[in-house]
Amino acid sequence: MIFLDNAGTTKMFEECLQVYGGYACKDFFNPSAMSMESMNVSKALLETEKFFLNVLGASDGNVIFTGSATESNNLAIKGSFRKGDYEYVFSAGEHPSVYNVAKKMELDGCKVHFVPLNSAGQVDLVELEKVLNEKTRLISVMFVSNETGAVNDLDKIIKLKTRLCPRAVLHVDGVQGFMKIPFSLRKTPVDLFSFSAHKIHGPKGVAGLYVKNKGALKELFQGGGQQYGVRSGTENVPGIMQFKRAVELTDVRKNLEHVEELKKSLVEILTAGGVECVDFAGSPYILNVAFNGVKGETMLHALDEKGVVVGLGSACSAKKAGNRVLENIGFDKDKIVSSVRISFSAYQSVKEIEEAGKIIVETYKDIKEKVS
């Protein structure tokens, strides 16, 4: 099978399995208990938090470990909410774990702005500038779009925030960029940054939220006060340690170069075969293609039968009709229906991708002949 839905999830590194065993069966102690064994686990967790802060390029702040980036996003947004005459700003292209929180806030009576995307799939900065003001409490924008791979210009967004609403909190959903696109909080200082393990060959059910000022973040649920009182609940120590191992095994720049090559070779094969490749000039990990005249869903199932797995966009919303993000960018209905998301792993070979390309082109030609 050639798996081309790596923005949906990735296969975990086998090396992470051993790490799990070590902390699930041997050093299984509760990090909040008082025994020496527990204190050692607590120390290891603290070191792991420092490890992540270092990877993110943070000179201060904390990392809160969560059960998913969905939880990280909810914690960032709901934890920054305050009663009062405030405004909340989101991009129209956010993942459902941000977008649906924003929609619910709007339903609950908050003043919420959804900033449209430009034709390159990025947050439209002219439109963003129009809605920012001294009442802005939170801006939440993603780093890399899970639908298109478009990369937002976070540095320009920070400049706008500094000029127009310096007291606002800036949250970035970094899931599709973390350990894939070079990023450092030193250069791009945001207040909150979400990231997830299972998108980078780590385990499912483990994620993180970088928090610059933990005192300003309200907890989502009450409990034993773990993780500075921001996220109660016994930490998933084995999972967090596996996440760390996955990060250690990742070479961002080397992977990026390789994935650029993978994308280039697939685009060449598909374009020559009559498949429209939409280049958002963003992350090389994601490629949007349109099978004009054939439904994306039909292609997905036909390819699945031939051992090539592709995606239809966000796994969490893939079962819903339409595509809110592509619609916002200005795709017409036919193009949206014929669109498929292809996403790469840095551990795939050019040969494997060329093989997938051939299968995709053959399948498209076969189906197109039948339907025309």
Binding interface with ligand PLP (CB under 6 A): 68-70, 73, 95, 97, 142, 146, 173, 175-176, 196, 207, 314-315
Q: Looking only at Cα atoms, what is the longest distance across the chain?
A: 72
In whole angstroms, how close is the CB of 255 to ligand PLP at the nearest point? 18
In whole angstroms, how close is the CB of 66 to ligand PLP at the nearest point? 8
In whole angstroms, how close is the CB of 348 to ligand PLP at the nearest point? 19
Q: Which is nearer to ligand PLP, 42 or 323 (CB)?
A: 323
Q: Which is nearer to ligand PLP, 97 or 136 (CB)?
A: 97
Written as one string, the DSSP assignment of 24-93 is: IIIS---TTS-SHHHHHHHHHHHHHHHHHHHHHT-SS-EEEEES-HHHHHHHHHHHH--SSS-EEEEETT
Per DSSP bridges, beta strands 286-290 and 276-278 are antiparallel
In whole angstroms, how close is the CB of 180 to ligand PLP at the nearest point? 11
In whole angstroms, how close is the CB of 314 to ligand PLP at the nearest point? 6
In whole angstroms, how close is the CB of 46 to ligand PLP at the nearest point? 23
Q: How far is CA 306 from CA 3, 115, 301, 340, 345, in A?
A: 11, 40, 9, 16, 19
Q: Which is nearer to ligand PLP, 41 or 98 (CB)?
A: 98
Q: Which is nearer to ligand PLP, 174 or 296 (CB)?
A: 174
Q: Which is nearer to ligand PLP, 269 or 325 (CB)?
A: 325
Q: Which is nearer to ligand PLP, 344 or 364 (CB)?
A: 344
Taking the C-alpha atoms of residue 30 and residue 48, their distance in angstroms, rounded to an integer, is: 16
Taking the C-alpha atoms of residue 41 and residue 193, their distance in angstroms, rounded to an integer, is: 25
In whole angstroms, how close is the CB of 11 to ligand PLP at the nearest point? 15
Taking the C-alpha atoms of residue 277 and residue 287, their distance in angstroms, rounded to an integer, is: 7
Residue 320 in tokens? 């819903």
* Bridge partners (DSSP) listed for residue 311: 341
Per DSSP bridges, beta strands 192-196 and 207-211 are antiparallel
Q: Which is nearer to ligand PLP, 193 or 364 (CB)?
A: 193
Q: How many residues does the chain have?
A: 372
Q: Which is nearer to ligand PLP, 177 or 357 (CB)?
A: 177
Contacts of residue 371, Cβ cutoff 8 Å, sequence gap at least 6: 293, 294
In whole angstroms, how close is the CB of 101 to ligand PLP at the nearest point? 11
**Contact assessment for residue 52 and residue 63, using Cβ atoms and an 8 Å cutoff:** yes
Q: Which is nearer to ligand PLP, 192 or 294 (CB)?
A: 192
Angle of helix 36-56 relative to helix 237-248, nearest 10 degrees, comes to: 40
In whole angstroms, how close is the CB of 199 to ligand PLP at the nearest point? 7
Burial 18-56 (b: 16+ CB within 10 A, else e): ebbeebeeebebbbbeeeeebeebbebbeebbeebbebb
